[in-house]
Structure 1
């Protein structure tokens, strides 16, 4: 099986499809290659790897004053979001959950499982929560101690205005937690310009590692204060941090190979120009792909103002010959795995812009979509009129 160089934007392994998803995503060959060695979780070399990883992540967040700490946590992104909420929200605290898609609603469901107080602003699929709504909710309920916001809501692809949400939160003396699962590493979340107490992200998103752990980047003073908050033994961020400070080790078996892969992904990320460079490539990917798909007649769920460079949601065509499962399989045969939609009102699908791909690959994506439509006998990808009307009504 032939391979290409790690930094080339081409098929990482011949015959392997590109993952046009919000993560897991297509990784560089050198990231895969980094997992070919075994590491002892207690060994000094691996402890040094963990330390280096955490230092690089804090630097990516922009901390130059030594006020923030990175705590890696085993598990998928949702594990880490639950760890964040369970550790940083006191048991007698109350959270304002800002939702405009599945992941905001999942945060609310997590609070329900934790048995902790919360209130929900649900904006649906089309629009972001805005600062005036946050301010009004906080003014109306003095019991609210924290706000949780989703940086990029990948069920729709919307990029939420974290800066203005932060301003509204701290103007009223509350604390902000950020789920930047699908944005950190490509969208700026600099602690010097956007205030928050803690954020959470994952290895297999914009830094282009592989699944297996997430990480919390938190103000150290907040970490110190959250001792005893957690509902869980294994999801206790404070306990994980305290053990790492004491021993340099993860409390329980770490995903050693995933950490090694992530360090290589961080090297490539830095070589590309860090957050700015990675974000610029993803934005070019989005612009090329969206422009080409619109020429075929596809319509995006969101207005351009809210389109993230992470993933884009399209309405399914109204044409009677269009069946998403068939379209999916045809795209896969051509080397591209797309993502089903997660909207509740209309039929949709999603195309990711992240991973080891550039604009030339995205031109190929559009060509594959055109060929797939032709093979299905679909001569226009225009969506149902009802979908456009619903978008206009809900986005008004």
Structure 2
């Protein structure tokens, strides 16, 4: 009789969810737990401490964990951080900049938007000019790693300008934190959004908001726009009671804590270096296979490479052929849907996995 439980291992080359370690997966088997018991409070408290230890060890930040994808924390951050009558400036050069804009519109938050081509860095001078001319702009929002194209935005330069004018720097680092160079303090990031299932190498279902302590004081004066997605109410429950205000994804917390333990053991810089080594190898091999990069290499992240589809090759054909061989690649988004494909190297991937990808990719291209 066929074993229905046995599934073929797939190498995920999409930008989250990512391949995870056996320890992370097995942590789900620790057993059931009531989220109102002291055992969960200990798990929640330890997980929050490990997030801060990894990314903000200086003690000037706090964090709230939210059950939901990265977009859940992104929505929570935006709807909780802009005061009534004030504006948010959104830097939009990709799908995820556009997502922030859509969230602001849903909550009827006044917004100013600077749009750029998806292959273009934002103009820092234009950002500064826009901020300086509009005193109603309270929050400036930017995407760290725009996974639409694999582009890294200039967060250090933006942070310096935003701080100079005394505004709040809101950063979507859902695909960046843990995989890209960032120093929240030196980059003047006030609010940072991330998720468990990308560069931290946890499982989908949990995300978090990192807040500078003085931002918490400011945000307390903002009337809630949402019950579930209010960052301050989530934070207060977690800090004061060691609980979540609503039922959390308990088993996913097991996996998240295990993933954070692995990150702390490897070291954040060690993980960044591993990803950098992997992407450098892949890009060298892509060139050898005559695949053309969408962006200049100097603009690229450590974890995603966007490539033009070869002539006479559709994405569906390329995807399906590689999937048969055990590899999952990712399509282009929006206007790039029919012209590019993307390969991510975040997650629990070995050099042997990547070498096998190149071997199989070459065979598919030859066929």
Match of 2:39 in 1: 45
Whether 1:72 aligns to 2:65 is yes
Output the CA distance in 2 between the equivalents of 1:158 and 1:82.
Answer: 22
What RMSD in Å do the two structures reach over aligned CA positions?
1.5
The equivalences for 1:1-396 within 5 A come to 15-36=8-29, 37-64=31-58, 66-227=59-220, 228-272=222-266, 274-318=267-311, 320=312, 322-344=313-335, 347-375=339-367
- Aligned counterparts of 1:195 and 1:57: Cα–Cα separation in 2: 18
TM-score (norm 1): 0.88
Per-residue Cα deviation, 1:18-67 (whole angstroms, up to 9, x for no partner)? 11011101000110000012222112121111111111111222332x32
Aligned residues: 359
Find the aligned partners of 2:202 and 2:100 in 1 and give their Cα distance. Answer: 24
What is the match of residue 3 of structure 2?
A: none
CA drift at 1:285: 1.1
Divergent runs of 4+, >6 A: none
Partners of 1:192 and 1:217 lie apart in 2 by 12
**Contact conserved, 1:292 with 1:363, CA < 8 A, in 2?**
no
8 A contact 1:313–1:348 mirrored in 2? yes
Cα deviation, residue 120, structure 1: 1.0
Partners of 2:334 and 2:285 in 1: CA distance: 23
Distance 1:296 1:139 in 2: 48
Which runs of 5 or more structure 1 residues have no equivalent in the other structure?
1-12, 376-396
**Deviation (angstroms), 1:343:** 4.5
| TM-score, normalised by the number of residues in structure 2 | 0.94
Instruction: Tell me how far apart the structure 2 counterparts of residues 176 and 292 of structure 1 sit (CA, whole Å).
Output: 38
Which SS does the other structure have where 1:145 is aligned?
A: strand
Query: Taking CA–CA contacts closer than 8 Å with sequence separation of 6 or more, which of the two structures ends up with the larger relative contact order?
Result: 2
Give the whole-Å Cα distance in 2 for the aligned partners of 1:360 and 1:171. 47
Rounded to whole Å, the distance in 2 between the matches of 1:323 and 1:191 is 41
Measured in 2, the distance between the counterparts of 1:181 and 1:357 equals 19
Is the 8 Å Cα contact of residues 284 and 359 (structure 1) preserved in structure 2? no
Preserved contact between residue 187 and residue 275 of structure 1 (Cα < 8 Å): no
